[in-house]
Amino acid sequence: MVTKGISEEDILYNPYFKIIDPACGGGYFLIEAYDRIKEIISKNYEQIINNHPNIKDELAKGVHQFILKNNLWGVDIDKFAVYMTTLSLLIKEPSKTRIPNIFQGDILLETKTLDCKINSKFQLVIGNPPYIGHKKIDKEYRKKLQNKYQDVYSNKSDLSYCFIKKGYDLLENRGRLIYITSRYFQESQSAIGLRSFIKDKFNIETIVDFYGSKVFKGARISPTIISCKKEELKQQKIHIYRLKDGVKVNKDNLDINDKTFFNVFTLSQSSLANDGWVLLASEEKNLFNKINEKGQYKLIDICVCNQGIITGCDKAFIVDKKTIEKEQLEQEIIKPWIKNSNIHKYKKDSVSKYILYTDIIKDLSDYPKVISHISPYKERLSKRRECIKGVRKWYQLQWGRELKLFEKPKIIFPFKSKNNKFIIDYDKVLCSADVYILNVKEEYTNIISLEYLLAFLNSSLFEFYFKCVAKKVGEKLYEYYPNKLMNLKIRIGSDTSEIINRVKSINEYYKKLNNISCNREEILMKIKREITYINEYFYKLYDIRSEEIVTIENRIFNVKEIGDKEMNKD
């Protein structure tokens, strides 16, 4: 980052090249900048004096003092961080006593005090501003941020968004901003204003997207490195370096130009949408657009999606068969229960847990044993927000949903997964909040069946289509939240009967696998053939060419071999 931000030409042209880190912490970037500038000046000392004779006397007093006085500025709200940065710069040459331009204060709001101290515009703003979500920010402080940074900061925004706007304000024209920040801003609803601001005010030069990987030790977020210049917009091509799915790198073996690890491509700045930045190479973007254009119905128009049950206290409401038998719990209230981890592509694990669906209780005396089971948790349950408000009774589930939602055939899927895992549940299972439920709207049931919809959702084509816009969380996981999923489209073939039959066959094959005397290998091969047929059907339906299939398979890894490991592990 520092090498990109400070070139030899920059210092030769302007030895007074000014750099600021507005949230300097322990001074990592400023120390790197010091070393970089000192190296350039030492290497080109005579040339710099020849080009700028007026600085000869100042440089003669020492390069160290020159850099601390003229090149480096830092601010941090934390007193100890300021002390550490100051000390780290001073000990570069302990015999010199020049105090660096490092100040304590809130650079976002203490503008009058700090502006007087800084009193400058900068050629480079660099840093790793703090990522602090709205829930951790004092309400009054949040209001002040909203007032001062209304272009980029809304009620649910991250504090780091304000540092991008502040960075812009600190820059001179044609100055450069380079930040490591959370990649979350590329997709978050709360960052619409920020994305619009960056796109309109900056020329974006590069984006290094680590795509869910936590590259830096101890960091809780997956970072993006963004480099952009404060200048009038032109027809700008952004250089994108996107970490390949599933690849592990760390800061010690990081080479963004290594195509073993990174997808490297360019895209037009004008193609970035304010509602979310989709960083795709041209062949991926064209293929995504092709699939999208061939879709006939948005899923949100033909389907209804609901979240599973929030119990408010799993220990009270979730039981196993042994507990049911031992305590002789009333059967009427006991329902089968599954979680995120129980769902696989076309298959769910056998039920081993059950939920006490207490929302159907009208008279506590009808279910004495169930009430006896949950009574030890009464105090905790009574403190739930809904109980305090009087919306729920203490023995009820926090959000139990309507029972009829679960009692008909439905598609269910985990909200986080490394690949598409959709199943049809015919067994009236209830599911936890980490599972979503999908059903076709009544008025569309004569147009599309659950089986056809399931085949599409589990196809390689749809997995590619979805992952182009999905939010990546961690090295392998994607969020299958409805806000992205339901806005994608589906194309319905003229005759869907064969696909429906194939899905039913897969379901039957999985049932046969429960028989310990079955020929497991043979059945798995049959399942694989059915899935291959379904994939090829959708490729043909969408007119996907062979080279486009390669793009799809590369994007989703093509590693989903059917076998015991696939069925029993995420």
Q: Are 386 and 398 in contact (CB under 8 A)?
A: yes
Is residue 192 one of the residues assigned to a domain? no
Domain end position, chosen among 95, 127, 159: 127
Determine the Cα–Cα distance for residues 555 and 552; give it in Å rounded to an integer.
Answer: 5
CA 18 to chain CA centroid, Å, is: 34
Q: What is the DSSP string of 511-563?
A: HHTTSTTS-HHHHHHHHHHHHHHHHHHHHHHTT--HHHHHHHHHHHTT----S
Q: Which residues pair with 338 in a beta bridge?
A: 431
Tell me the pairing of strands 297-298 and 489-490: antiparallel
Please check whether residue 172 lies inside any domain of the structure: no
Q: Are 61 and 68 in contact (CB under 8 A)?
A: no
Domain boundary among 80, 98, 127: 127
Indicate whether 231 belongs to any domain.
no
Cα dist from 55 to 15, 51, 443, whole Å = 9, 10, 79
Q: How many angstroms from the chain centroid is the CA of residue 206? A: 19
State the total domains in the chain: 2
Q: Is residue 563 part of a domain?
A: yes
Whose tokens are 């650079």? That residue is 107
The 3-state secondary structure of 161-218 reads HHHHHHHHHHEEEEEEEEEEEEHHHHCCHHHHHHHHHHHHHCEEEEEEECCCCCCCCC
179 in any annotated domain: no
Check: CB of residue 310 under 8 Å from CB of residue 507. Answer: no
- Which domain, by its residues, includes 111? 1-127
Q: Which residues of 202-235 are buried (b: 16+ CB within 10 A; e: fewer)?
A: bbbbbbbbbbbbebbeeeebbbbbbbbbbeeeee
Domain boundary among 106, 127, 148: 127
Contact 29, 21 (CB under 8 A): yes
Runs of H (alpha helix) within 240-377: 282-294, 299-302, 314-317, 321-327, 368-374
**pLDDT tens digits for the chain (570 residues)?**
888 889 899 999 999 999 999 999 989 999 999 999 999 999 999 999 998 999 988 888 889 989 999 999 999 999 999 999 999 988 888 776 678 899 999 999 987 777 777 778 999 999 999 988 888 888 888 899 999 999 999 878 899 999 999 999 999 999 999 999 988 899 888 899 999 999 999 999 999 998 877 776 666 778 899 999 999 876 689 999 998 877 777 666 677 787 778 889 999 998 888 888 989 999 999 999 999 999 999 999 999 999 999 999 999 999 999 999 999 999 999 999 999 999 999 999 999 999 999 999 999 999 999 999 999 999 999 999 889 998 899 999 999 999 999 999 999 999 999 999 999 999 999 999 999 999 999 999 999 999 999 999 999 999 999 999 998 887 788 999 998 999 999 999 999 999 999 999 999 999 988 888 888 899 999 999 999 999 999 999 999 999 999 999 988 863 333 334 444 444
CB-CB contact of 507 with 346 (8 Å): yes
- Whether residue 96 lies inside any domain: the answer is yes
Tell me the C-alpha to C-alpha distance, in Å, between residue 232 and each of 150, 228, 483.
22, 12, 34
Q: Is residue 533 part of a domain?
A: yes
Domain for residue 404, yes or no?
yes
Q: In which element (H, E) is residue 94 found?
A: none
